[in-house]
Structure 1
């Protein structure tokens, strides 16, 4: 079985879209929110990559991007991703990929996510299996570089005319929303290289790495975190309809591989427990845990009721040996992607991404129940908690 990154069929050529999106604001103004989030800094994999893979390893070919952009745009979908819809909810432009050097605008945030990335540091075996070396730790390093070089630039700017219109203001690093959506590729690697029980035993070290990065971001001034858990990996058509003889035979009522979903649930359980501990430790922050698993599983379980076809079907491509961009059908994709949950067997269609984004943005699947426009900590309470943290550190 090929790893997820091996069949990433993202929308290519972030350049053409980023040249437009730098000045584009779409969506509604966050009415009713007492604090406007001015920027998003995103860390993740192909579920939220808006052009990093294309910039680093070459463009993804059509028909990706066909629904919304009309051409490839660096995304693993026919259109927009969940992170795009979150940006719209906040009244912000779509995020430019940090690795894309042409046409990018980081004035209101940056995207460090890259397809095939893992939380754990990539080793030789993972690299040989085509997983991306740009793991979460590397993405953190990229963020540190952006922040340091932005501060250096503004220090050198002598007057207002020298202010940069493509970099965040200094205070926007602390007032921004830090979104994190990773773990799917870590589980993929485990499930294709060891038993399910061994995979469960390996999760704790991945969660430790995730927590270390979040703590480091807090040390760098981040205060608002929006943490996605991992989705039901056993429901991805790539796994659920795979003919691998080593795949577990037990499936649930939706046809999902139950053993794989059980590993995902264990990952989410440990992630949630760590988030609770981090809240106690970092009381000046607001850490929102978002149950992507339940949202996606709800969509899959009730696909017909929500207007989608076979939840284990997919729009683009015909098999593992004939991926999306090599499909011999006209335009290489189905006639109506919006009828499908899965775009290519691994990634969701724009219609499914919108469905999930609408529900998580309204706080229906978050802990605590929080709308994304209210994800920043109360400014007054934040000051009290930061004083307490300093006092505790001195004891």
Structure 2
């Protein structure tokens, strides 16, 4: 019988290194004039903090978040830059402002619609299928695309219709990680792991519907990200240690001997990634005039966890840099940025930042693989050359 797993309802998120070498981007005429980004906390550059203004303490709006690069919290759930930031830098574009700051920002060079807690499935889906655990905000991919449509209307009103089409054709659209939050809400609502796995086709369909909507809106270059190995997150490992919440994670068979990660949670992620990659291949055939990149989020994180020293990470790969103690340095009662938490001296030596999100150094490594093709097909930089 499949063991039942319950994850925390991630109201603030769930489960959202190397410098570029020899890419020659400085000598390449820019193909892209703007970037539009969608997803969850792995890509959010401040939308959730803006949306949640006035609510009790939002931990990642506190120090030490942002300390490595920005020297202050920016609403990013990391110590510094995210994958989307490194993509923007490589394409010589400004870092993306959050859409919800539109009154104070120029969004003509791009905008970020990703938001902490973002899901592939709409709130209505959870209300019908999983009323015990529902996202606290309407922040699904469909909602984010609705925000994009509002921005598109204002941008297109400022230019001729032909110019608007050219603007979108010279924009890079990045649909970041989605799915981990969906499964988190399902599992927290009492669904078993096998039941959550049965919803993978629904999650993948929702992501594909979003991608196809963006194509219909004028997108010609899109990056679609898979999900990361949730069973390697310090949050999951701390929660389920010793068989908590019915996982029965008490024997070596429950853990990957190469990494120490939880096998079943990683299996769920791998299943979604397989289905999503197949779906992206089908969409390539359906839209031959559109360039679609599948960006692998799973393999780079798994490699960093398996062989951290090879990539310059010298600390325990399953231990968070910032947290509240314990073997994985994750404690919900003393989450990073809240009283009782501590932070490591060298975030760049760690893969994980706060138990759920990664460090800037890890994000840089992943971004390099997406840009140069190690973890993306085709590479993002290939799009610049086409």
Please classify the TM superposition score into its range, dividing by the shorter chain length.
0.7 to 0.9
Q: 2:46 aligns with which of 47, 51, 55?
A: 51
**Match of residue 62 from structure 1:** 63
**Match of residue 316 from structure 2:** 310
Normalization by structure 2: what TM-score?
Answer: 0.83
Normalization by structure 1: what TM-score?
Answer: 0.81
Matched residue count: 347
Judge which range, 173-182 or 125-134, deviates more.
125-134
> Does the aligned pair in 1 maintain the 2:8–2:184 contact within 8 Å?
no
Distance 1:248 1:110 in 2: 43
Judge which range, 199-208 or 75-84, deviates more.
199-208
**Match of residue 325 from structure 1:** 337
Structure 1 runs not aligned, ≥5 long: 11-27, 157-167, 379-395
**Match of residue 347 from structure 1:** 357
Distance 1:305 1:377 in 2: 31
Distance 2:270 2:52 in 1: 32
**Match of residue 290 from structure 1:** 295
Judge which range, 319-328 or 118-127, deviates more.
118-127
More relative contact order, 1 or 2 (CA 8 Å, 6+ apart):
2
Secondary structure, aligned partner of 1:245: helix
Distance 1:248 1:360 in 2: 36
Query: How well do the aligned residues superpose, as a CA RMSD in angstroms?
Result: 2.5
Distance 1:225 1:7 in 2: 24
> Does the aligned pair in 1 maintain the 2:165–2:218 contact within 8 Å?
no
Distance 1:221 1:377 in 2: 20
Q: 1:276 aligns with which of 268, 275, 281?
A: 281
Distance 1:8 1:199 in 2: 15
Map Cα deviations across residues 172-222 of structure 1 (whole Å, 9 max, x no partner).
212211101122212322343322221221111111111111111111110
Secondary structure, aligned partner of 1:66: coil
How far 1:315 sits from its partner (Å)? Answer: 1.2
**Match of residue 82 from structure 2:** 81
How far 1:33 sits from its partner (Å)? Answer: 4.8
Distance 2:29 2:12 in 1: 44
**Match of residue 175 from structure 1:** 170
Secondary structure, aligned partner of 1:177: strand
**Match of residue 374 from structure 2:** 364
**Match of residue 35 from structure 2:** 40
| Matching of residues 170-249 of structure 1 within 5 Å | 171-181=166-176, 182-192=178-188, 193-243=190-240, 244-249=244-249
Relative to structure 1, the CA distance from residue 146 to residue 127 in structure 2 (aligned partners, 3 Å threshold; closer, same or farther) is farther
